[in-house]
Chains A and B, each alone.
Chain A
């Protein structure tokens, strides 16, 4: 169980892994995540499920190399196993037929966005998708996203692919010419903050999938707490998706920085060991 069945590098920083886990493949819904651990000394960390094949009994994870745990995961070869894998966790995305959906994915956030885009399309919606990344290398799953979208705009910060600009520029263009009924944003927290400010201006109901720090992922510890509409909520059991206009993104960004020193030190030690 939890064996790596297939591994594909989208770029030298972003890797797709197909993992054997028939139970999670069967029970998972779009928006769910898993908690993983690599090695007996490893920490627990979350990854949103990017896809699943219940027939093959596999789930798909897309990971961006950031620090120690993501590096350890990406270092696994086909045939090796993830030490601990549990899920599906979190509340699944609320999929409805609402009309026109604006789906926005930043960087590796496009991976968990893909099953949601597919689900909204299958539910009978018009799906307009904006995907964005810093440069061409970091744009992922474009063909798969196009398959389930009525229109796709690609943005890169440096203009090396698609149009030059931030995700909000692509979003604004669509909002100006279409009546958007609902928006979903997944990506780096600062991107979700500004995307949310934009859609709030136009009163477009928006769901953001938060990527808070987690320890257990089952609602036990409160490490992932965020303030939504003035109340404390746990990303792992009340989320990971919340009404973006009610999320205190500034507090969330502050909490995401809670272990920056420890993360930096650990990454240094890990790279020295290699």
Chain B
């Protein structure tokens, strides 16, 4: 492929623009994707830009080490199903990553175009999504090869991205894998956290079906440590556990009035809408709606929450963030989409107190303005309240999206498991092995609230090392 087109000509092609659903249309629909996907000609042209570098630095930027040039060159050749198969060699959920990864911080940040030419990166994320969607729509799903079953049982606690990635690799090694999930649906944040307009649940279900076809077993409504204990499962023959129970513990600001009705954690708000379908009229779970909605926070979860509020009919949907826009952790693309949709950004503002009507429903909040001082431990400039700058805002729905902490349920069932003071599980970072040799862990339960792709990288690392650990044990 390298000789087919001269590199010079490749670099003259501008980066493709992802077709986007118009803002006026998309704010009326919770379930219509904003990014509509590349057309085949667009994908092929974009794939031509990739120069198939002898030393592909892009792969170094990928937490799951996808062979990026290989899959892109298949797209250029027109062999898209082979591109999808390449993705599945290392990534159990390519349609997911192609949509939600912060490629601009990962693979694309390491692209030759950015590094050496000062130009826009190859649109690796858009191409990954293209290949995965193509395969799904073709009806011909490639099932990656799995080794001969070795009869050794392993279990995951949780069914989010880290566990799914772990399961996908372990089943390839030949293990008998069961994914245990406390909720009634598989997928963790993929289902309850990320909205339909960014990651449709049907896309997630398709990837899950592939894992089923590879032999991964799923058990919902099962809390490991409660429904049955770890010892019970060991008695049933499970030899290794991967704890991927996530950071499903909401954080509140603990300011006056925060327990009034109409003030929800982002976990509650998004779970009602994304997992329980509360935005549709034919499901039983309700969700509170507001005319004036304030979302506190500046990350991707805050963006998801505020854009959901718009779609649920808010007249004003406001982001309240204590630092400036430059410091917001949310993906630039999400901020851009939010602004196009009419989200207001009140940066350098911080909530102080909430007020409610006689029934206890929030109706107003008090905030003050912030200035930025010297950088704090995170490296970002520290927000400092400006004296005398207090003001009030009418709100009747508030979503608190200031971060999440590790869910304590599983660690509380394992008193010997070493955890940090924040509740994250302590692991050997090279192996993802915890203080208990047959327990590995990864994802948000180790990192605190992070990303889908980092969780998946952890799952892969844990699988590789648990495989070593169990093979060594059986060889003794």
Q: List residues of chain A with CB under 8 Å of any chain B CB.
A: 23-24, 27, 37, 41-44, 68-69, 83-89, 215-216, 218-223, 225, 227, 232, 237, 251, 254-255, 257-259, 262-263, 266
Q: How far is the CA of A221 from the CA of B250 in the complex (A)?
A: 6
Whether A44 pairs with B259 at a CB distance below 8 angstroms is: no
Q: Is the CB of A218 within 8 A of B223?
A: yes
Q: Are A232 and B252 in contact (CB under 8 A)?
A: yes
Q: Chain A residues near B283 (CB, 8 Å)? A: 41-43
Top 4 A-B residue pairs of the complex, sorted by shortest distance between their CB atoms? A221-B268, A254-B360, A220-B248, A258-B261
Q: Is the CB of B259 within 8 A of A259?
A: no
| A44 partner residues in chain B, CB cutoff 8 A | 184, 276, 285
Asked if B226 is an interface residue, CB under 8 A from chain A, the answer is yes
Closest to A42 in B: B284
A86, B183: Cα distance in complex, Å: 8
Min CB gap B73→A, angstroms: 43
Task: Please state if A222 and B183 are interface contacts (CB–CB under 8 Å).
Answer: no
Chain B residues, Cβ within 8 Å of A89: 223, 226
C-alpha spacing A11/B262, complex, angstroms:
36
Q: Which chain B residue has the least Cβ–Cβ distance from A26?
A: B228
Query: Chain A: which residue is nearest B276 at the CB level?
Result: A43
**Interface majority SS on A: helix, strand, loop or mixed?**
mixed
B409 touches A41 (CB 8 A): no
Q: Can you list 6 residue pairs at the A/B interface with Cβ under 8 Å? A: A43-B284, A68-B284, A86-B182, A222-B267, A232-B259, A258-B288
How far does the Cβ of A94 sit from chain B's closest Cβ, in whole Å? 15
A100 to chain B, nearest CB (A): 32
A23 to B267, CA, bound (A): 28
Tell me which of A41, A83, A222 contacts B268 (CB under 8 A): A222
- Is A87 a contact of B227 with CB atoms below 8 Å? yes
Whether A227 lies near B259 (C-beta < 8 A) is yes
- Give the docked Cα–Cα distance between A221 and B282 (Å): 23
Question: Is A222 within 8 A of B264, CB to CB?
Answer: yes
Query: In the complex, given contacts A86-B182, A216-B271, what are 15 additional A-B residue pairs having Cβ atoms less than 8 angstroms apart?
Result: A41-B282, A84-B220, A215-B268, A215-B271, A215-B285, A218-B183, A219-B248, A219-B249, A221-B265, A223-B268, A225-B252, A258-B262, A258-B288, A262-B288, A266-B286
B-chain residues with CB within 8 Å of residue A85 when the two chains form the complex: 221
Known: A37-B184, A215-B276, A223-B268. A254 touches B408 (CB 8 A): no
Cβ contact within 8 Å between B284 and A221: no
B106 at the A/B interface (Cβ < 8 Å)? no
Q: Contacts of A215 on B, CB cut-off 8 Å?
A: 268, 271-272, 276, 285
Q: Which residues of A contact B262 (CB under 8 A)?
A: 258
Complex Cα distance, B227 from A27, in Å, reads 6
Chain B residues with CB under 8 Å of A259's CB are 286, 288
Whether the pair A225, B259 counts as a contact (CB closer than 8 A) is yes
